Amino acid sequence: MANGTVVTRKGLQLIAKLVASETALTFTRVAIGTGKVPGGYDPGSMTGLNEYKMDGSIASHSASGDEASVVMQISSIGVETGFTITEAGLFATDPDEGEILYAYLDMSADPQYMYPENNAISKFIELTLVVKIGEVQSVTAVINPGSLITEEKFEAEKAETVHKSDIINSFSDTAGDHETVMGTVMGYQHDRDIKWLKGYAVTKEMISNQNVESADLVPSAYLLYQLNKTLLKKCEDLLAKYNALNSNLNNMWSLSGNQTLIPNNSDMHTYLTPGNYYCASNTNAETLKNSPLKFAFTMKVYLSVGIGSQYLIQEYTKYDASERILVYYDGNRNIWTSYHVQLEKMV
Pairwise CA distance, residues 118 & 31, whole Å: 22
> pLDDT of 31-88, one tens digit each?
999 998 888 888 889 999 999 999 988 888 888 888 898 988 888 888 889 999 999 9
* Amino acid occupying residue 127: L
- Residue 257, pLDDT > 60, answer no
Q: Regarding predicted confidence, which is higher, 255 or 7?
A: 7
pLDDT at position 205: 52
In the predicted model, what is the mean pLDDT of the chain?
76
pLDDT at position 178: 40
CA dihedral sign of residues 105, 107, 112, 117: positive
Phi/psi of residue 25, each to 5°?
A: -90, 125
Q: Regarding predicted confidence, which is higher, 275 or 290?
A: 290
Closest by alpha carbon to 282, among 318, 335, 236?
Answer: 318
pLDDT at position 94: 94
- Specify the range with the lowest mean pLDDT, choosing from 27-41, 133-147, 167-181, 259-273: 167-181
Q: Which residues contact 229 (CB under 8 A, 6 or more apart)?
A: 212
Percentage of the chain exceeding pLDDT 90: 34
pLDDT at position 160: 53
Most confident of the ranges 139-148, 214-223, 302-311: 302-311
Q: Which residues contact 255 (CB under 8 A, 6 or more apart)?
A: none
CA dihedral 37→43→47→53, nearest 10 degrees, is: 40
**3-state DSSP assignment of residue 270:** helix
pLDDT at position 211: 42
Q: Residue 11's pLDDT band (boundaries 50, 70, 90)?
A: very high
- Residue 201, pLDDT > 70, answer no
DSSP β-bridge partners for residue 143: none
Q: Which residues contact 130 (CB under 8 A, 6 or more apart)?
A: 1, 2, 3, 5, 67, 68, 69
Most confident of the ranges 25-39, 182-196, 219-233, 294-308: 25-39
pLDDT at position 48: 93
- Residue 308, pLDDT > 80, answer no
Q: Residue 135's pLDDT band (boundaries 50, 70, 90)?
A: confident
Q: In the Cβ-directed half-sphere of 272, how many Cα atoms lie within 13 Å?
A: 11
Q: Regarding predicted confidence, which is higher, 127 or 240?
A: 127
Pairwise CA distance, residues 315 & 302, whole Å: 8
- Residue 243, pLDDT > 90, answer no
pLDDT at position 219: 46
Q: Residue 230's pLDDT band (boundaries 50, 70, 90)?
A: low
- Specify the range with the lowest mean pLDDT, choosing from 21-30, 113-122, 203-212: 203-212
- Residue 144, pLDDT > 90, answer no
pLDDT at position 206: 47
